[in-house]
Amino acid sequence: MAKAFDFKANVNKALADQQLRGNFAAAMGGFVLKRRALLSDPEETERLRAAVRAIRRRTLAKLPKLLQKLEENCTKNGIHVHWAETTDEANALVLSILRSHNATRLVKGKSMVSEEMHLNHFLEAHGIEVAETDLGEFIIQLAGEPPSHIIVPAVHKNRRQVGEIFHQHLPDTPLTEDIPELNAIARKTLRRKYMEADAGLSGVNFAVAETGTLCLVENEGNGRMCTTAPPLHIAVAGIEKVIEKLEDIHPVYRLLTASATGQLITTYFNMITSPRRKGERDGPDEIHLILLDNGRSDILADPELRQTLQCIRCGSCLNHCPVYTRIGGHAYGHVYPGPIGKILTPQMVGLDEAGKLTTASSLCNACEEVCPAMIPIPDLLRRLRSELNAPSGEGTVRGHGAGRSCTEAAVWKGWQLVNTTPKLNELATRMAGLLGDRLPAVGPLGAWMSARTRPKLARKSLHRRCREEGVDDV
């Protein structure tokens, strides 16, 4: 039986892990500084952000038509297009395609949608050998862990830990912390996987409706190997990954790389428009594109919450989040961590399962300030928190009202009564002045005071002091 998601326990465990916190402290600061250096002109940055937001909003506003156009143009190009409403359907499609080609060995590029599908576990249970080829994904696959970050899956590991993983899981591998040597070990292992693979699977950064082109952004070349070396290529993408026109790519790509890793451009930018044509020396004989919904249509239907789908998966909100950078991605217990995960996951799986994630924010707005698509993450968090605690019958997100507490509701009713009744307000103020410094450190107050100084309340309220000093009309 699967263990229930306990966010509070996960957070406490992460905070107690000094190795984890040290690794994150060392890694996160670098991303922030690189982004800041590359986006040093505030006016230019804001102009680009406004352009990306406009492109994403325009795309979402006519998403059904663009998806139809994408399918038409991909089909013209010889790409087989499939639709999956759920992750189960998407997994079944991948397996069916592999079996129709008698494929038993799959090399895989980085793809958050495939993580959303829990694809590796599904395929391995059906006898398919899956090899992750992104270096970070390769490391955590050996370690038996899920990604900790959207773009840097193994950010929580230092080089000593990586060396130990290679030594333990790769036969005849010496124990080393030398980074070039570790890279060489991974390269040698993966090169054999590419040569032996029957099929390759990748994600999609942009699916261009105008031309039926699938675009991949990467730095290691493993995405290019997965999509060109094996005879069969399967691409999986969420339906929101559509871009209307080729000319829309430039500003989105510019901010994607700058926000993610502080790069002007990435080492590789792949544009896949068709299977191998006659006379071409490389490329797959067959390409399949699987477009996954998995709750995205419901998100799209809500004018406010659809802003969640503007995300271009850069991970910048994670890099700047004071919560994520202290607890890491695994504490979130779901595929998408950090600020974007806190608004996306509850909408996908329901507030009853993941509503607690919405509480992991101080609403400091750091995520919104760096988001390249200008998603108002704090506003959406407030909306989801409100729905989490809504009375029965109120709210539209699945699982709304799951976090409602009768005790908390009564406390807020009492607070409302005290603050709308002058006599009660005066009495409460006097009592707070007399007893405020004796607040017991129990329950929620105990947790609050464990990291804060006990508040010292004034003996007399401002109203009372004014009256005593002869100020009228108070």
Identify whether the C-beta of residue 245 lies closer than 8 Å to the C-beta of residue 302.
no
Interhelix angle 63-76/42-61, rounded to 10 degrees, is 80
Give the pLDDT score at 126: 98
Q: How far is the C-alpha of 399 from the C-alpha of 367, rounded, in Å?
A: 25
Identify whether the C-beta of residue 211 lies closer than 8 Å to the C-beta of residue 243.
no
3 state SS of 421: coil
| Locus of tokens 């410094």 | 437
Give the pLDDT score at 2: 54
Give the pLDDT score at 279: 92
Other CB atoms within a 10 A radius of the CB of residue 433 amount to: 15
What is the token pair recorded at 204? 């999609």
Q: Write out the DSSP string of 366-394.
A: HHHHH-TT---HHHHHHHHHHHHTPPTT-
Q: CATH 3.40.50.10420 in the chain: give the residue spans.
A: 41-294
First to last CA, the chain: 62
Give the pLDDT score at 266: 96
Give the pLDDT score at 320: 95
CATH top class, domain 41-294: alpha beta
Give the pLDDT score at 441: 80
For CA atoms 297, 300, 301, 302, the dihedral sign is: positive
- Let me know how many helices (H) and strands (E) the chain has, helices first: 23, 10
Please list the rounded mean pLDDT of every run of 10 residues in the chain (474 residues): 80 94 86 94 97 98 98 98 98 98 97 97 98 97 96 95 97 95 96 96 98 97 96 98 97 96 96 95 96 98 98 96 95 97 97 95 95 98 96 89 90 92 90 79 80 81 86 70
For CA atoms 270, 274, 279, 284, the dihedral sign is: positive
Q: How far is the C-alpha of 186 from the C-alpha of 173, rounded, in Å?
A: 10
Q: How far is the C-alpha of 289 from the C-alpha of 203, rounded, in Å?
A: 9
> CA distances (Å), 173 to each of 106, 142, 149, 194, 196, in order?
23, 13, 27, 20, 21
- What strand order describes the sheet that includes 242-243? 242-243, 206-208, 213-218, 268-272
Give the pLDDT score at 3: 66
Q: Write out the DSSP string of 67-124.
A: HHHHHHHHHHTTEEEEEESSHHHHHHHHHHHHHHTT--EEEE---HHHHHTTHHHHHH
Q: What is the DSSP letter of 453?
A: P
State how far Cα 313 lies from the chain centre. Answer: 7
Identify whether the C-beta of residue 437 lies closer than 8 Å to the C-beta of residue 449.
no
| Locus of tokens 């639709």 | 83
Q: Encode burial over 21-60: b for 16+ CB neighbours within 10 A, e otherwise.
A: bebbeebbeebbebbeebbeeeeebeebbebbbebbeebb
